């Protein structure tokens, strides 16, 4: 279940109540007239089945609540109510397959924003990957995979392409196209310092055996990227964070960036090119798989997969 709160101008309160009370997937409707001070109006709350959330939000937004009031939505961990159980039973669809688009867009928008924190995590991950390459340590490389935050913008880009949200796509691309070069430049500076000190030599790159999978692009590279992207998108839409950690460990995006920097620093351009290609393959594969997963999932309140509706009404 999801808890919905609507701050509505008084003139729209009855319309909001009608939308909520007429839907089988809504229960626990409460109104506090005149309770809202900023923006001024009435406060209406309700518990909504996940399968019904998209339909409810679309109807409420259609009467202009976003412009003159506000809508908040958050998940409920525990609900002990026969009325809530009935609402979930009567709502069409399955809550496990429900994708609340506004919730997904909000979450991916936050994860895809270029911030100092995002940049710091990606830089640290690239530095860890570089250390893992030089020391031929798969454990350190795995640590770099887990630290890397790049899946957020990739998931956001997949959602943006599927929902045709060009502002979100632009935000995601900016985060990726700015953060990766900056993180790789910082890693290159660190590698040059280590090379000057004598910690890095050409032999240390040529003789790696445990982490050669980073630059070795094979037929399964794209397959792994697709599988990881599919699992990652499923974990995002279902809020299964444990599965997302497995995705981080399975793809070599950040390690490939770190390896490319180290290889270029010591003049091993073939390995640098192969690592860069590995990075590109993984990034593209993750986005493609994310879009595909969204196409296969049923629409909210509908047992029909989204891709069938898109093909039947391609312009809507």
Question: What tens digit of pLDDT does each residue of 197-227 get?
Answer: 887 776 666 666 666 667 677 778 888 888 8
Cα–Cα distance list, 168 to 131, 149, 187, 196 (Å): 34, 17, 28, 42
Domains in the chain: boundaries: 2-93, 103-296
Q: For residue 212, what pLDDT is reported?
A: 62
What angle is formed at CA 233 by the lines to CA 230 and CA 239, rounded to 5 degrees? 135
Torsion angle of C-alpha atoms 118, 234, 109, 164, degrees rounded to 10: 130
What angle is formed at CA 298 by the lines to CA 292 and CA 299, rounded to 5 degrees? 105
Phi, psi of 208 (to 5 degrees): -65, 140
Phi, psi of 77 (to 5 degrees): -75, -45
Q: Is the pLDDT of residue 228 over 80?
A: yes
Contact 24, 91 (CB under 8 A): yes
Q: For residue 93, what pLDDT is reported?
A: 72
Average pLDDT over the chain, rounded to an integer: 84
pLDDT tens digit sequence for 235-245: 888 766 655 66
* pTM of the predicted model as reported, rounded to 2 decimal places: 0.79
CA–CA separation, 176 vs 171, rounded Å?
9
Nearby residues of 220 by Cβ (< 8 Å), 6 or more positions away: none
Q: Is the pLDDT of residue 124 over 90?
A: yes
CA–CA separation, 52 vs 100, rounded Å?
9
Cα–Cα distance list, 199 to 20, 55, 264, 266 (Å): 66, 60, 16, 12
CA–CA separation, 293 vs 175, rounded Å?
23
Give me Rg for the CA atoms of the chain.
Answer: 24
- Eight-class DSSP state of 299: P
pLDDT tens digit sequence for 42-70: 999 999 998 888 899 999 999 989 888 99
Nearby residues of 115 by Cβ (< 8 Å), 6 or more positions away: none
The CATH number assigned to the domain with range 2-93 reads 3.30.70.120
Q: Is the pLDDT of residue 89 over 70?
A: yes
Strands 26-37 and 40-48 come out as antiparallel
Percent of the chain having pLDDT more than 90?
A: 36
Place of tokens 């940049």: 119
Q: For residue 315, what pLDDT is reported?
A: 42
Contact 28, 277 (CB under 8 A): no
Strand partners, 2: 48, 75
CA–CA separation, 85 vs 62, rounded Å?
28
């Amino acid at each position: 279940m999801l808890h919905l709160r609507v701050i509505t101008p008084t003139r729209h309160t009855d319309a909001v109540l009608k939308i909520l009370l007429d839907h089988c997937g809504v229960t626990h409707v409460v109104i506090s007239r005149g309770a809202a001070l900023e923006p001024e109006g009435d406060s209406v709350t309700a518990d909504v089945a996940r399968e019904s959330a998209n339909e409810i939000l679309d109807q409420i937004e259609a009467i202009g609540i976003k412009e003159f009031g506000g809508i908040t939505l958050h998940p409920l961990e525990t609900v002990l109510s026969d009325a809530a159980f009935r609402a979930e039973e009567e709502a069409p669809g399955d809550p496990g397959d429900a994708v609340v688009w506004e919730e997904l867009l909000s979450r991916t928008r936050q994860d895809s924003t270029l911030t100092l924190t995002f940049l710091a995590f990606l830089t640290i991950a690239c530095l860890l990957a570089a250390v893992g390459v030089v020391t031929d340590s798969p454990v350190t490389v795995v640590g770099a995979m887990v630290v890397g935050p790049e899946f957020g913008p990739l998931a956001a880009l997949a959602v943006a392409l599927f929902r045709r949200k060009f502002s979100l796509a632009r935000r995601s691309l900016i985060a990726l196209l700015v953060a990766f070069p900056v993180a790789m430049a910082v890693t290159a500076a660190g590698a040059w310092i280590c090379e000057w000190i004598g910690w890095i030599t050409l032999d240390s790159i040529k003789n790696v055996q445990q982490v050669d999978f980073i630059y070795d692009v094979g037929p399964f590279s794209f397959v792994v990227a697709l599988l990881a992207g599919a699992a990652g998108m499923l974990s995002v839409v279902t809020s299964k964070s444990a599965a997302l950690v497995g995705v981080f460990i399975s793809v070599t995006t950040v390690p490939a960036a770190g390896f490319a920097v180290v290889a270029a620093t010591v003049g091993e351009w073939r390995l640098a090119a192969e690592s860069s290609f590995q990075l590109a393959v993984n990034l593209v594969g993750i986005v493609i798989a994310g879009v595909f997963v969204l196409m296969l999932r049923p629409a909210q309140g509908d047992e029909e997969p989204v891709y069938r509706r898109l093909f039947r009404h391609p312009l809507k």
